[in-house]
Amino acid sequence: MSKPIFWNQACEDLSKKDKVMKLIIKKYNKDYLIESKNPFKTLCRSIISQQISTTAAKSIYERFESISSLIPQKIIKISDYKFREIGLSKQKISYIKTLSEKVNSEKIDLVKLKTLETEKTFKTLTELKGIGPWTANIFLMFYCLNSNIFPSNDLGLINGLKKFYGNSSQINTIKNLWDPWCSVGTFYIWRALDGEALNY
């Protein structure tokens, strides 16, 4: 899979103006954000990942994909009990089924969201049950390939800034430093913190 068209330029710019990021990019220079080709998958996976560890989210998502085949019509018919068995909470089951119903009934066109302005896509997504700013930002990063998303409420990003920059209190300063490549900076913080490249 090819890199996003902006990736090399972003890495070059970030390396010039951020000494910490320069070292991280150099260490993980073979890794890059992989574009999602399936918006429904991106939303389901990000909903599953809400407020749990990366390892737990990956395990639950793999089981979810196995029993649902990522088919909205099939997801609607699967019992809540079966979803609970694979580790999904009652709330997340509700969120995913609500999303599946809207996609299945064509009340929302997830593919079309990629063609809208960032603010419009964000607003449309956050009006859906169970999709808050974090999940919308993941969608904008991985499906829409927006180069300048900074999920300031992401625990991994906050912990990464503490680890690599000494603290997270200067979050707005770092956001301004990374602009217009916040998605790239965020990706590499996640990569360095988690030990593997995240995909949604």
pLDDT tens track for 146-186: 999 999 999 999 999 999 998 777 899 999 999 999 999 99
* pLDDT of res. 124: 97
User: Distance between CA 154 and CA 63 in Å, rounded?
Assistant: 24
Greatest extent of the chain over all pairs of C-alpha atoms, in Å: 52
Which whole number is the average pLDDT over 12-20?
A: 97
Give CA–CA dist 48/24, Å, rounded: 28
- Decide: helix, strand or coil at residue 2: coil
Asked whether residue 140 carries a pLDDT value surpassing 90, the answer given is yes
d(CA 164, CA 107): 43
Q: Which residue has the higher pLDDT, 120 or 167?
A: 120
Residue whose C-alpha is closest to residue 158's, from 127, 126, 190, 131: 190
pLDDT of residue 88: 98
- 72, pLDDT greater than 80: yes
Q: Is the pTM of this model over 0.85?
A: yes
CA torsion angle for 96, 102, 106, 110 (degrees, to 10)?
Answer: -50
Q: What percent of the chain has pLDDT over 90?
A: 90
Rounded to the nearest 10°, the torsion over CA 119, 121, 123, 127 is: -170
Q: What is the pLDDT of residues 182-199, one digit of tens each?
A: 999 999 999 999 878 888
Spatial separation of the C-alpha atoms in residues 166 and 129, rounded to whole Å: 36
Q: What domains can be seen in the chain, in order of their start residue?
A: 7-34+148-194 (1.10.1670.40), 39-142 (1.10.340.30)
C-alpha to C-alpha distance for 76 and 58, rounded to whole angstroms: 22
